[in-house]
Structure formats: C-alpha cells, structure tokens
Amino acid sequence: MSDLADNNIYCHLDGYPHIVVRYVPGFYGRHALRAGISREDAIAAGWKMMAKFEDRLWCCVVFGPEDARYLYPGGKWADSDTPPSGGAGDVLAGMLKQQDR
C-alpha cells in the first residue's frame, strides 16, 4: 500500500499529515499521506519523496499547524513548530479550488 493518499487534488490541502516539497523558492507542492499513518512511516515517506528527486529538494512532513519535521539533502533533519506556508503553490491551489465550485 502506498503511503500517499488516494484522494482528489483538493481534499488534502488542509489535512494532516502531509508532505510539502520545495520545488523552487516560493513554489511548494503538498502531498497528502494516508489517514492513520504513523509518525515514523510519514517521515519514511518524506525520505522516499526526497529520493524521487535525487535528494536535490527539501521536504517537510507536516503533522499539524505547529508540528513539522524538515528533511534536507544528505540525511539532515530538524523538528519545527513552523511548517512551510504560502508560496505560489498555495495561491494556485486556492484559485483552482475556487474555479471548481
């Protein structure tokens, strides 16, 4: 079973946990994780996501509004109470969500 959620593009935007990938400065993508995933499995999914990008991008596994783990190339990581937010990815997702109504 995949750790990524099997749901539509919009339903994960406010849900937890999810993975945020920084593609370029100011442009982030959010990827939902399946409901009920353990913290350890969510972090492992974050490392797998980084491996897909050949460890050139950083990811952040977000567990809640003040609970996140940043994953960096080279196997480094840092826990934080400030998950990533904003950026063009959020703006685009919001515009698409408004169009869908």
Which of the residues in the chain have pLDDT under 70?
1-14, 86-101
Q: What is the β-pairing status of strands 67-72 and 27-32?
A: unpaired
pTM exceeds 0.85 for this model: no
* Residue 8 located in a structural domain: no
**Given this model, what pLDDT does residue 61 score?**
95
Domain that holds residue 53: 18-100
Judge whether 47 lies within some domain. Answer: yes
Is 5 inside a domain boundary?
Answer: no
For residue 58, tell me if it sits in a domain.
yes
Tokens of 65: 């509004």
**7 belongs to a structural domain:** no
Number of domains within the chain: 1
Residues 21, 4, 71, CA angle at the centre, nearest 5°?
Answer: 35
CA distance 55 to 70: 13
